[in-house]
Amino acid sequence: MKTQLLPATSEALALAARLLTDGQLVAFPTETVYGLGAHAMDAQAVRGIFEAKGRPGDNPLIVHIHDRSQLDAICTVNDAAIRLMDAFWPGPLTIILPRKAAVPDAVTAGLDTVAVRMPSHPVALALLQACNLPIAAPSANRSGKPSPTSARHVFDDMDGRIPLILDGGESDVGLESTVISMVGERPCILRPGGVTQAMLEAVVGPVDLAGSILRPLEKGEKALSPGMMYKHYSPDGQVTLIEGSERAVVQALRRLHSHASGEGHRACVMCFTEHVEALRDCHPHDIGSKDDPTEVAHRLFATLRALDEEKMDVIFSEVVPPEGVGLAVMNRLGRAAAFRTVRAEDVE
Ligand code: TXA
Ligand code: MG
């Protein structure tokens, strides 16, 4: 199959809407990451997503809408969920609600709940409006790769597998949406993102955090969000996180890099903008300012992809405090590193 990569003009949007109505797949930009869309009520079309991504069938998808009236056919809403929609939609928040029977099992992986989101990216909204269908869309990466934050990333993963990629520039947030479950006794964040726990609590009161956000699932522990079960976001090289005081971390990065290169590894560091100069001999990848976790979120996945392109095999990274958007960054970075962490003060 030939994959077209087109700027999101009105002609390209019309073509995309036709393909989706036809049961085919289209990749499109959202404010979080690029999505790989299919007609959500067409089980056959949805199965195509799993095939193109190489995604396990027991990992459910998010249904994207442009108008809340579409929810009637998809899920049962409750008052607290409506307050969240009022506050954060359109935007990077996915809400888990009880499903309706019309939603194919392929979308929900057979669960009795379904994930719904109204994205804010103008191209995503224009596409949803043009086809006037609910669109099931996971991130448009091959399963196990970092989510794509540009059309080029999607092309690298999906060339030959899907007919069309709409180019809408770089994703703004850079990490996938916050996923909140509204089916339990208390709201629970299953995946942290740009909409933070504090922002959610300001609207619906106390919100729980799923246990496995900053650690691997324990043996026998059930994932609240099936996506958490899978190895995620790992570059081909081995990532190690370095914690500690600023000075100690910079010194440790220099030592660890020098040691690894001395052993013949292709080694590099992921560091804050403020430390690039001090680490200029350590093949630094600038992850953004230490005072701006939003910028780190924006750059993280592109950086992880660059490490693979450069065939780095040993990577040492700085960390951000796991608060606010920093929690979402550390959830992804932690998984990229398989939670391997070293204290800077312990590095000789
Ligand atoms: O920002 C985003 O959310 C992007 C853009 C394209 O919208 N989409 C995205 O989809 O990240 P995906 O499939 O890569 O991640 C969806 C996550 C998975 O971890 C999945 O397990 C979880 O949401 N999920 C979906 N339906 C669920 C359900 N009914 N119950 C619990 N978790 C669910
Ligand atoms: Mg994904």
Task: Indicate if 184 and 270 belong to the same structural domain.
Answer: no
Q: What's the domain range around 98?
A: 4-214
Q: Is the CB of 31 under 6 A from ligand 1?
A: no
In percent, how much of the chain has pLDDT > 90?
90
Q: Is the CB of 329 under 6 A from ligand 1?
A: no
Task: Indicate if 265 and 297 belong to the same structural domain.
Answer: yes
Q: What are 244-294's pLDDT values in tens digits?
A: 999 999 999 999 999 999 999 999 999 999 999 999 999 999 999 999 999
Task: Indicate if 197 and 245 belong to the same structural domain.
Answer: no
Q: Which ligand is nearest to the CA of 233?
A: 2
The average pLDDT across 119-134 equals 98
Q: Is the CB of 30 under 6 A from ligand 1?
A: yes
Q: Is the CB of 29 under 6 A from ligand 1?
A: no
Task: Indicate if 154 and 79 belong to the same structural domain.
Answer: yes
The rounded Å distance from CA 60 to ligand 1 centre is 7
Tokens, residue 235: 């570059």
- pLDDT-derived band at 348 (thresholds 50, 70, 90) equals confident
On whether residue 222 sits in a domain, the answer given is: no
Task: Indicate if 175 and 242 belong to the same structural domain.
Answer: no
> Among 182, 214, 246, which residue terminates a domain?
214
On whether residue 207 sits in a domain, the answer given is: yes
Contact partners, residue 22, CB within 8 Å, separation at least 6: none
For the chain, the straight-line distance linking the first and the last C-alpha, in angstroms and rounded, comes to 53
- pLDDT-derived band at 125 (thresholds 50, 70, 90) equals very high
Q: Which ligand is nearest to the CA of 65?
A: 1
The average pLDDT across 215-241 equals 75
Domain of 251: which CATH number? 3.40.50.11030
Domain of 159: which CATH number? 3.90.870.10
Task: Indicate if 55 and 167 belong to the same structural domain.
Answer: yes
The rounded Å distance from CA 155 to ligand 2 centre is 16
The answer to whether 116 and 63 are in contact (CB under 8 A) is yes
The average pLDDT across 53-57 equals 92
The answer to whether 33 and 171 are in contact (CB under 8 A) is yes
The pLDDT assigned to 313 comes to 96
**Max mean pLDDT range (142-146, 157-161, 231-235):** 157-161
The pLDDT assigned to 152 comes to 98
The rounded Å distance from CA 138 to ligand 2 centre is 5
**Which residue has the CA at smallest separation from atom 33 of ligand 1?**
225
The rounded Å distance from CA 1 to ligand 1 centre is 27
The answer to whether 6 and 17 are in contact (CB under 8 A) is no
Produce one character per residue of 235-258: b if its CB has 16 or more CB atoms within 10 Å, e if not: bebbbebbebeeebbbbbbbebbe
The average pLDDT across 295-309 equals 96
Q: Is the CB of 140 under 6 A from ligand 1?
A: no
* Total of domains in the chain: 2
- pLDDT-derived band at 232 (thresholds 50, 70, 90) equals low
Task: Indicate if 176 and 273 belong to the same structural domain.
Answer: no
> Among 214, 248, 273, which residue terminates a domain?
214
Task: Indicate if 163 and 257 belong to the same structural domain.
Answer: no
On whether residue 219 sits in a domain, the answer given is: no
**Best of 26, 208, 225 to mutate for ligand 1, by most ligand atoms within 8 A of CB?**
225
Flag whether pLDDT at 11 surpasses 60: yes
Q: What is the residue type of 275?
A: H
Q: Is the CB of 42 under 6 A from ligand 1?
A: no
Flag whether pLDDT at 19 surpasses 90: yes
Specify the residue for token string 């009236």.
69
Q: What are 170-220's pLDDT values in tens digits?
A: 999 999 999 999 999 999 999 999 999 999 999 999 999 998 888 877 777
- pLDDT-derived band at 107 (thresholds 50, 70, 90) equals very high
Prediction pTM value: 0.96
Task: Indicate if 24 and 154 belong to the same structural domain.
Answer: yes
In percent, how much of the chain has pLDDT > 70?
97
